[in-house]
Structure 1
Amino acid sequence: MNERAWERVGAASGLAAAVLLLASLFLNPSAPTGEEPVLTFFYVAANRVTVSLAALFGTLAAVVFLWFVGHLRHLLQRAEGGAEAFSPVVFAAGVVLSTTTMLSMLPVIALASMTRDVTTASQSSVFVLSELHRLSLGPVGLLVALFASTTGAAMVRRELLAPWVGWFGFVVALIGLIAGVTAFFLTGPFVMVAAAVTGVVFAVWIGDAAVLMLYRPEVDRVRTGGTAFAH
């Protein structure tokens, strides 16, 4: 398989991650907040299948996203000519974002499993699990901001794709930053809505970038002198 074909595989992984993330977000409507453990328990019990599917799709999105992050590192290393300007941060932020997202799914999976047997549940355990999931949204939002801002900066510098995709990434980073910071100080519906909005715009951004990479692999831009190399 030549490099152009491998680039298409890498781009396809980004598109798959975006689709899986959107499916996860739209499968699971907003649940009651962690301050209402009884309502949370009955919500999960009534929607156990969709809640479990949403957690599964979210986890799969994080796993597939790892391939896309590795693909981005390869592209940026080539564009930067060994200068290692943005590629290490993009790679590290992407890996930690993926890992943190997978960990944030564990309390949801535990809640869904707990509803199978009412005798194993208590208000305190439901509260702790739902709060762990809510609190994990803070680090996820901040990691989205780091990944989107550094990747966006590389795009604006024409090391990858087009500048407009990079500016879109800055918008995603700002939304992620707001959602991440507020998750540390606020509770209630606003935190969940902010996290959902962050997830949607992040998925759309990744999906747009992946489609552009599929349409025109970065190796074609390099051959035509379209990439600005950093030294």
Structure 2
Amino acid sequence: MDDKGWERYGAVGGLVFAVLLLLSTFMVPAPPHVDASTLKIAKYFLDHPNRILASQVIGLFAVLGFVWFAAHLRTTLRAAETVGDGLAALVFGSGIALAALGALASVPNAVLAFGAKQRSEVITNAGFVRGMFDMNLMLGNVLTVLLGLFVAAAAYAMLRREVAMQWLGAAGVVVALVAFVAGGTGFFVTKQNGGVVAIGFVAFLGFLAFVVVTSIWMLLPAHRSRAYRAVPAPVT
């Protein structure tokens, strides 16, 4: 694959990620609230086992697209860096950590949905159901903080003109701050709180928008020359 093909597929990976993640999120009914009864939680999985399992599988494939996107973003940043400050490594490292945890985060819901499909003792054990449900919530909070780190690192590179999209960098800083607040606050919320849910939803949609716009920019023919604007010309 030549450089142009790598760029194209890396950018498309971000778009595929966004589309699949949105599909995975909205193809299932809204989950029970954080303070829902264990019976209500179990009923949710018993009523929709196949849709929940399909959602987790689609979300897992979305992660693959994100890994490709993060890898190409790292390549773009490394080419544009004027000093070896490791910012590209931070973007890639946080992206891989986010992808890995995102893949693992599919496990709690998948286990409960699989148990519900089998009508096994997994879904009738109240303590297990509650534990897996709460684990899914906690993993979501950690994911939100990690996505904030990824967006913050990429946004900082944009503000430094390393990828020539300062306005998106400024928006990314806002998204990152919202994600940090949403993820950190989520650890302490034990009762349904519409405000916290709304903040988390804003962080989620903001993150997807950030990835989509960055991917579209990568597909633009002129982006390579703009990305290398900050690189000094070689001395002859």
TM-score when scaled to structure 1? 0.90
Partner residue of 2:224? 219
- Partners of 1:18 and 1:42 in 2: CA distance: 29
Does 2:152 correspond to 1:149?
Answer: yes
Partner residue of 2:7? 7
Instruction: Give runs of aligned pairs for residues 6-155 of structure 1, distance below 5 A.
Output: 6-35=6-35, 36-81=37-82, 83-120=84-121, 121=123, 122-155=125-158
Percent identity of the aligned residues? Answer: 29
- Partners of 1:20 and 1:135 in 2: CA distance: 22
Output the amino acid matched with 1:89: L
- Partners of 2:152 and 2:138 in 1: CA distance: 22
Q: Deviations over 1:168-195 (max 9, x none)?
A: 2112211211111012111344455544
CA gap of 1:192–1:174, structure 2 versus 1, over 3 A, is same
Q: Deviations over 1:12-54 (max 9, x none)?
A: 1111111111112222232113542110111121122221222
**Is residue 4–residue 217 contact of structure 1 (8 Å, CA) maintained in 2?**
no
Q: Deviations over 1:75-132 (max 9, x none)?
A: 1111014613411110110000111111111001001001023341211111011000
Does 2:208 correspond to 1:208?
Answer: no
- Partners of 1:129 and 1:194 in 2: CA distance: 23
TM-score when scaled to structure 2? 0.88
- Partners of 2:141 and 2:185 in 1: CA distance: 7
Quote the offset at 1:217 in angstroms. 5.8
**Is residue 141–residue 180 contact of structure 1 (8 Å, CA) maintained in 2?**
yes
- Partners of 2:3 and 2:120 in 1: CA distance: 56
Two-structure CA RMSD over aligned residues (Å): 2.0
Q: Deviations over 1:109-167 (max 9, x none)?
A: 00100102334121111101100000111211110111111100101111114111111
Output the amino acid matched with 2:70: V
Instruction: Give runs of aligned pairs for residues 120-199 of structure 1, distance below 5 A.
Output: 120=121, 121=123, 122-190=125-193, 192-199=197-204
For 2:190, what is the secondary structure of its paired residue? coil
CA gap of 1:217–1:46, structure 2 versus 1, over 3 A, is farther
**Is residue 163–residue 226 contact of structure 2 (8 Å, CA) maintained in 1?**
no
Aligned residues: 227
> Does 1 or 2 have the higher relative contact order (CA < 8 Å, sep 6+)?
1
Output the amino acid matched with 1:202: F
- Partners of 1:154 and 1:69 in 2: CA distance: 14
**Is residue 25–residue 199 contact of structure 1 (8 Å, CA) maintained in 2?**
no
CA gap of 1:139–1:160, structure 2 versus 1, over 3 A, is same
Name structure 2 gaps, 5 residues minimum: none
- Partners of 1:29 and 1:169 in 2: CA distance: 29
CA gap of 1:193–1:46, structure 2 versus 1, over 3 A, is farther
